Structure formats: structure tokens, C-alpha cells
């Protein structure tokens, strides 16, 4: 299962149309979805550490690109906070205080053009 700390339309494979659904899930549900391991696309080291602590599994820092095709799913661990100032980086302690909402994202259907 793939995990990222944000979602962008750039993460969709643009060779086909997509219908993407987003479902909020609990930390417990997120943990259960990683029964077969974790593939990380979490691009900030401190965020990866905090997510690892919350889920009880190692979520490595991995600044990589993602291309989801139809039939793919992922977990988005969304930090719920105002946009940071340009260049601002939160410390581990500051990041621990930020609420993280977990979302199950599924790109399961083509959309007719």
C-alpha cells in the first residue's frame, strides 16, 4: 500500500481518465491497510517520522513521484494546518502537535470523455 502526505492531480497517470474517491479513515483502519507492507511517497522526513509513530510501522522518508493508474489506491496522511511560510520547516516537536487526518484514495473507474 502506498502512503503519501498530500495528493496532487500530478499523481494521476494522465494516459486515461479517472474517477477518484476520497474516504476519511481512522488511524486503526490505516494501520490495517498496511498488512502487506508500505511503499512511501512521504517527502518530508519529520512528517514520515510522525506518521511512523502514529501507525506503529516504519514509513520511510521518500521524496519520489507517483503515477496512479485506474484500479490503484493509496493512503494520504494529511497534516491539518495552515500553509507554512516559504522555506519554513517544522521541528519534530512542532509536527507532533499537528493533527493528521488519514484518507483512503481509490482511483477505480475510467470516466467516459
| Chain segment 56-95, per-residue pLDDT in tens | 999 999 999 988 888 888 999 998 877 877 887 788 888 8
On the question of pLDDT at 48 being above 90, the answer is yes
Neighbouring residues of 75: CB distance < 8 A, sequence distance ≥ 6: 1, 2, 3, 4, 25, 30, 33, 34, 102, 103, 104, 105
Domains, the chain, ordered by start: 2-109 (3.40.50.11170)
What is the three-state SS of 31-67?
A: HHCCCCCCEEEECCHHHHHHHHHHHCCCCCECCCCCC
pTM: 0.84
Percent of the chain with pLDDT over 90: 49
Question: Which secondary structure element, helix H or strand E, spans residue 96, and what is its range?
Answer: helix 92-96
Amino acid at each position: 500500500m502506498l502512503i503519501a502526505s498530500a495528493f496532487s492531480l500530478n499523481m494521476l497517470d494522465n494516459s486515461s481518465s479517472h474517477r477518484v474517491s476520497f474516504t476519511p479513515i481512522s488511524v486503526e483502519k490505516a494501520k490495517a491497510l498496511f498488512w502487506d507492507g508500505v511503499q512511501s511517497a512521504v517527502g518530508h522526513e519529520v512528517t514520515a517520522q510522525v506518521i511512523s509513530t502514529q501507525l506503529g510501522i516504519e514509513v520511510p522518508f521518500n521524496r519520489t513521484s507517483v503515477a496512479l493508474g485506474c484500479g490503484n489506491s493509496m493512503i494520504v496522511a494529511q497534516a491539518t494546518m495552515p500553509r507554512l511560510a516559504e522555506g519554513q520547516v517544522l521541528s519534530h516537536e512542532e509536527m507532533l502537535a499537528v493533527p493528521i487526518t488519514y484518507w483512503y484514495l481509490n482511483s477505480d473507474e475510467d470516466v467516459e470523455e
